[in-house]
Structure 1
Amino acid sequence: MSGANGDPFDVVKYEVEQNLDKIKQQFVTIELGGGVQRDLGVVKEQLQSSVRNIEWDLQDLDETIAVVIGNRSRFNLSDVEIHNRRRFVAEARSLAQKWKERIDQLGPVAAPQGRNGTPVDEISAARNDEFIQNEFQHQELILRQQDQGLDDLAKTVQRIGDMGMVMHRELNEQAEILEDIDSEMDSATNRLQLLQRKLDQIVAQTGRDRLCLICWLFLAFIILAILAVVL
């Protein structure tokens, strides 16, 4: 198992598992003898220190879980993941308590003390602040990426809007041209209709004149024929 995946919970979880494994190995060494009886006091102090580290780490994990539950919208964790984290803390605390009882059976228990002389509350607060700070930085990065995406989208929408305005102007110009063409076509059609009527009138008038001429010629022919017969 590795605790180097960047999640503060997994980092602390990895430390808890390492300390539990360390306690187990030390107890195996004690039970097998291994020449540690003369250093049993030192070993007991190491075991007690490991148990205290586990208890502090589990306290930190409880606090981080509480922070996540109190602000679900900020931390992207499912109910299943939260349940698994709670179960790990409960199981690790139960196991640490069992090891602590076995350590107590080895002899007097040393008085608890903070790591490197640092108060427990201060250590827990520092780890909690570090976890929250990491989450804030992660959320800020996401927000910056979202802002950049929105800026790019706004620029794209602006370009599309400009193109739409240009197309709108061009369509209006084309519509005006089509209206002018339609008006000219109507005018040309009217002129053609007027010309057609005049041509029809000319043709009709020409037809009547020809008929009259033929009649006069026929009449003149009859008169000439009669005169020729009489004379």
Structure 2
Amino acid sequence: MTSQDPFYILKVEIDESVHDLKQKMTRYHGLQSGNPERKILSQQVEAGCQSIRWQLKELAGAVEKASEDPAKFNLTNEELGTRRRWIDNTRDQVTTVHEALQGALAAPPPPSHSSRGNDVSADRVKEVNSRFVGTEVEAQSLIMRRQDEALDDIEQAVGRIGQLGRAIGEELDDQQRLMNTLAEDVDVTQSRLKAAQKRMAEIIRKSGGFSQMCVVIVLSVILLVLVLVAFM
């Protein structure tokens, strides 16, 4: 068969694709489990396997179609057998690559020094977090105790203010009573002064001269005495 045969053109492309898949799987196994490139390679290998399987399916259908009338396509039974064997062999290679990929994806990551280091780091983080939580709890407890003490002080201060307010109220009541008593005394004194002034005016009107002056002086002294007595 010549190289212009579509089967052989696809055969070359598929062989290159299978070779590329094998190289990617080799690269995949050479990387550590935490390397992000492994995920990219696994996706590429998965897609490549599906693509090659589809192409092999199409080629197998074409071979079976050609086997119905080999002379029409200038094919011999030997050539058809060769093509079938190549398709089966290539399909087996793709299956092997795909199974290797699935096994690698399902296998747990091997222990490594870095993973032990990560475990140590995780334990360290847990220890630090535990200490931090403990410190925060103690700090919150201290704050609550101080708040309780402050509330007790405030309660005592409010009690003292209440007592002082009651004392001030009582003092104001006493002052009010004194003011009322003083007002009553002033009213009585004013009444007495008015009465004395009336009598003095009447005496002055009835008498005159020196005797009148003496009476005025005497009445003034009496008035002064009454005022002093009223405010004592």
TM-score by length of 2: 0.44
* Higher relative contact order (CA closer than 8 Å, sequence separation 6+): 1
